[in-house]
Structure 1
Amino acid sequence: MATRLLLLADTHVPKRARDLPPEVWRAVEVADVVIHAGDWVDVRLLGELEARSDRLVACWGNNDHGELRYRLPEVARVEVEGVRVGVVHETGQAKDREERMSRAYADLDALVFGHSHIPWDTVTSSGLRLLNPGSPTDRRRQPHCTYMTATADKGELRDVVLHRLPPRL
């Protein structure tokens, strides 16, 4: 049976937004697993996602301190439908990212990361899929706030979609 994934990072609630956009909360409701790659900023959102999602896999980011670092790992790992997924906030500069991450995470099929707020979807020469969902609340220099969805099924990650959110009023 296929498992629906929701990929988030860099939510920065309440620093950049009071809450997640309604579209993201709707995606939480239909996802089987929510993956968050850090920079929560406030532990309140962690509690809400834990309560509202079927399953949450997450790590802390460079803007997360105190209870967030106590409750979350720096690197999270999970196997979903035979797909080995890692979650980390920072991967360093974009130059040579594929090679560095392939070495550092040779045991994974996919690595979800954040930090840059720049969406990223590549496959390394070793077959590691690198995914950055961007940010649903802080687009920085990107044209849109974003998040990703995907499906894990029979050892494969499929149907990876970058969702662009409408501008906030």
Structure 2
Amino acid sequence: MRLLLTSDTHLPKRAKRLPDELLSELAAADVVFHAGDWVDTATLDLFETRARRLVGVYGNNDGPALRARLPEVAEAELGGVRFAVVHETGEARGRERRCAERFPEAEVLVFGHSHIPWDSTAGEGRLRLLNPGSPTDRRRQPYCTYMTAEVTAEGLSQVQLHRLPRRG
């Protein structure tokens, strides 16, 4: 099962449109995770119409229209792997401990907010924390990014961070 992980699309404030590469991955994915800060409902509409399955949450920059359609925390079980999605996890220091305590049943936590890609483990290795960065706003990062992964009989595998070409 192919996964697309993204967050912090911030349309149309940070970019006018989503990168073509991300749209191609959206079409190829079996399940799409979006960890909030959509900013406009048109982006959510696009994801809902193009994704086979969407697991998304709202972020701190998402207004009442998005909050009415999305939860603050989402959970999904895919191929026996338990996922949780949330926008914000707080500061980097102590993140693993806080997330392991907050999501004791999850095996993978997808989060956003910082625009900084993150891949670590917590709870003695039972919880994997993944932040795909942002495909539209690199902030202080060298590239805009997103992630892909696979769920197989063995669990989560082939987690890959993708760097998008710089916009001219």
Write the letter of the residue equivalent to 2:167.
Answer: R
Give 2:89's match in structure 1, choosing from 85, 88, 91. 91
Q: 1:81·1:155 contact (CA, 8 Å) conserved in 2?
A: no
For 1:29, the equivalent position in structure 2 comes to 27
Which residue in the other structure is 1:142 paired with?
Answer: 141
The SS at the match of 1:142 is coil
- Corresponding position: 1:152 with 2:151: yes
Aligned equivalents of 2:126, 2:101: Cα separation in 1: 11
Task: Output the CA distance in 2 between the equivalents of 1:81 and 1:5.
Answer: 12
**Which residue matches 1:10?**
8
Q: Structure 2-normalised TM-score?
A: 0.98
Identical pairs, percent: 59
Deviations 1:93-118 (A, max 9, x none): 00010001001001000000000000
Contact kept? 1:75, 1:88, Cα under 8 Å: yes
Q: Please report how far the alpha carbon of residue 66 of structure 1 lies from its aligned counterpart in structure 2 after TM superposition.
A: 1.4
CA drift at 1:155: 5.4
How many residues of Structure 1 are paired with residues of Structure 2 in the alignment?
Answer: 167
Question: Is the aligned partner of 1:66 residue 2:61?
Answer: no
Deviation for aligned residue 1:62: 0.1
Q: Secondary structure at the match of 1:45?
A: helix
Which runs of 5 or more structure 2 residues have no equivalent in the other structure? none
Distance 1:53 1:155 in 2: 24
CA contact (8 A) 1:102 1:126 kept: no
The counterpart of 2:53, out of the listed 28, 52, 55, is 55
Question: TM-score w.r.t. structure 1 length?
Answer: 0.97
Take 1:99 and 1:119, find their aligned partners in 2: how far apart are those partners? 18
When the two chains are superposed, the root-mean-square deviation of aligned CA atoms in Å is: 0.8
SS in structure 1 opposite 2:135? coil
Tell me: CA distance 1:108–1:155, structure 2 relative to 1, closer, same or farther (3 Å): farther
- For the 8 Å contact 1:38–1:64, the answer to whether it is kept is yes
Amino acid corresponding to residue 133 of structure 2 in structure 1: G
CA apart distance, 1:153 = 1.6
Which of 80, 85, 100 is the aligned partner of 2:98?
Answer: 100
